[in-house]
Structure 1
Amino acid sequence: MLEKIKEAVEYIRPFLTEQPEFVVVLGSGLGKLQNEVQDKVIIDYKNIPNFPQTTVEGHKGRLIFGKIEGKPLLMMAGRFHYYEGYSMEEVTFPMRVFKGLGIEKVILSNASGGVNPNYEVGDAVVISDHINMMPEHPLRGKNIDELGPRFVDMSEAYDKKMREFVVDFGNKNGIEIKQGVYMGLQGPTFETPSEYGLVRILGADCVGMSTVPEVIVARHMGMRVFCISVITDLGGPEIAIPVSHEEVLNAANKAMPKIITLVKGLIESGI
């Protein structure tokens, strides 16, 4: 693992003219954030040693180095999912590489299904916590002490200062923000109405098929994590509305302007 990380880091580093302060991971339908990056340098996944290749529509498969609001960052356009058949080690490998590049702050985005009755399609939700219901854990197996401790404190998986800043920033800029708990399930099927109901009973506000493994591994390495989710569909025992990946992408696209504003505000703050 350490050798694989080193090889990827050594390939990427020459592309970085400055030390990135953030890495931004783009979720389904949130690719328009790429348009906000200035002085772009594109690094295709296919050229990075040991990097997996994305297979999901809406996930480009490239790293983008550049600046947003004058702050150097690396953007991950296309993430990897357990349901694609990757191991958890492969799903979270990019986080290992980003830490190896000296990046300490992670901004994650995703599209999720809302089960909180106060949520509406298009809502921006700052994730305050998560419930891991995936069938495999990314830290299972022998711990690599050079990367992080055997047992990881998850009492503040999502950075409180970042969350508080974005909520306050949203209020000042007229952007309504919800906060909530995200549940990670394997996928790739969307949940049944009864499964959506169970998600709510278990204490989550929204549900998706990504994010949680990346957060766990980032925290294993001491990185600070922020996540914002777009509610792209609603579900529950009393809601039996068909949902498709195309509809998810369309809903995410409509929410993009406010997501862009919030992420740019967080990056500019340097918190």
Structure 2
Amino acid sequence: MSGASVSGEHSHGTQAAQQAAEAIRARLGVQSPVAAIVLGSGLGGLADRAQGATRVPYAEIPGFHAPGVEGHRGELIRGMLGGREVLLLAGRFHMYEGHSAQVAAFPVRVVHALGAKVLFVSNAAGGINRAFPPGTLMMISDHLNLQFRNPLVGALEPGDIRFPDMSAPYAPRLQRLLEAAAVEGGLSLARGVYAGLLGPTYETPAEVRMLATLGADAVGMSTVPETIVARAIGMEVAGVSCITNPAAGISDAPLNHAEVMEEGRKAGDAFCGLVERFVAKL
């Protein structure tokens, strides 16, 4: 199997997702996952905590691609967290790598075809809100799509909603469970709005001031296409951003990916504990 085996107009739509899911189920023994979890930069340590894990590399899944960014393993993992079966997406495809929005969101269609009804998205993000220092875990309450791409453009896929309601893209029910999981673990959990930009450049200080005016608390280069597709196919979504650095202009320090990775690793234990308690509550 390889990512190149699926092609055509709907190469990353509903039918392709079902084909990929069949191939994955045969490899991993997926039964009834309560959630699928997307692991962002530096947050891949959760994959090592899954019990009874079985894995398949992205390169062996039809329609998937090997991630080209450090901190993204490129594996789909089936295992147990908090006593519940989950699917872990260790890495994602970014549009700044040259992928379309449809490709970036394709893994969401696949995990839905495998039975997941809840999507948990995570990412590393720059802090715009000055009250969120590096290491802050921010529950995503809403987002700004400033990537100027939408994975639903084109022919309506079977099972999709043509005009999905985005008044509550991150489910209030799941937000309450996340807050309860944080309290249970004695963890401080911020909440805020995530701005998704295309990248791959970090934002300029002027852009960060603009984002703050628009109401953003954190900024990154992912997550939004996944959430949009999840809502279109009826999945509930929850999300957490790990604030890894002050956004440009908040601090005079230059930004680099190594810093993002390091801060993600530092927050790893808190993040893993939060997600495990959250999954146990589903």
TM-score (norm: length of structure 1): 0.96
Whether 1:86 and 2:99 are equivalent positions in the alignment is yes
Opposite residue 279 of structure 2, the aligned amino acid is I
Q: Give me the whole-angstrom Cα distance separating, in 1, the residues matched to 2:75 and 2:167.
A: 32
Aligned residue for 1:106?
119
- Aligned pairs (5 A) from 1:5-16: 5-14=17-26, 15-16=28-29
Q: Give me the whole-angstrom Cα distance separating, in 1, the residues matched to 2:242 and 2:30.
A: 32
SS in 2 for 1:240: coil
Q: Which moved more, 1:132-141 or 1:26-35?
A: 132-141
Aligned residue for 1:56?
69
SS in 2 for 1:52: coil
State the Cα deviation string for residues 147-166 of structure 1 (Å, max 9, x = none). Answer: 21110101110011111122
CA contact (8 A) 2:129 2:218 kept: yes
Percent of aligned positions with the same letter in both sequences?
Answer: 40
Whether 1:255 and 2:276 are equivalent positions in the alignment is no
Give the 4+ runs in structure 1 shifted more than 6 A.
none
The Cα shift of 1:236 comes to 5.1
Aligned residue for 1:129?
142
Aligned residue for 1:219?
231
| Structure 1: runs of 5 or more not aligned | none
CA contact (8 A) 1:9 1:100 kept: yes
Q: Give me the whole-angstrom Cα distance separating, in 2, the residues matched to 1:97 and 1:198.
A: 36
Q: Give me the whole-angstrom Cα distance separating, in 2, the residues matched to 1:221 and 1:142.
A: 14
RMSD (Å) for aligned C-alpha atoms: 1.2
CA contact (8 A) 2:21 2:113 kept: yes
State the Cα deviation string for residues 127-178 of structure 1 (Å, max 9, x = none). Answer: 000010012111111212x221110101110011111122233134321111
Aligned residue for 2:15?
3
Whether 1:154 and 2:156 are equivalent positions in the alignment is no
State the Cα deviation string for residues 175-223 of structure 1 (Å, max 9, x = none). Answer: 1111000000000111111111111011110000000010000000010
TM-score (norm: length of structure 2): 0.92
Q: Give me the whole-angstrom Cα distance separating, in 1, the residues matched to 2:247 and 2:70.
A: 23
| Structure 2: runs of 5 or more not aligned | 1-9
- Aligned pairs (5 A) from 1:1-271: 1=10, 2-14=14-26, 15-144=28-157, 146-235=158-247, 237=249, 239-270=251-282
SS in 2 for 1:164: helix
Q: Give me the whole-angstrom Cα distance separating, in 2, the residues matched to 1:46 and 1:200.
A: 38
| Count of residues in correspondence between the two structures | 269
Q: Give me the whole-angstrom Cα distance separating, in 2, the residues matched to 1:51 and 1:17.
A: 18
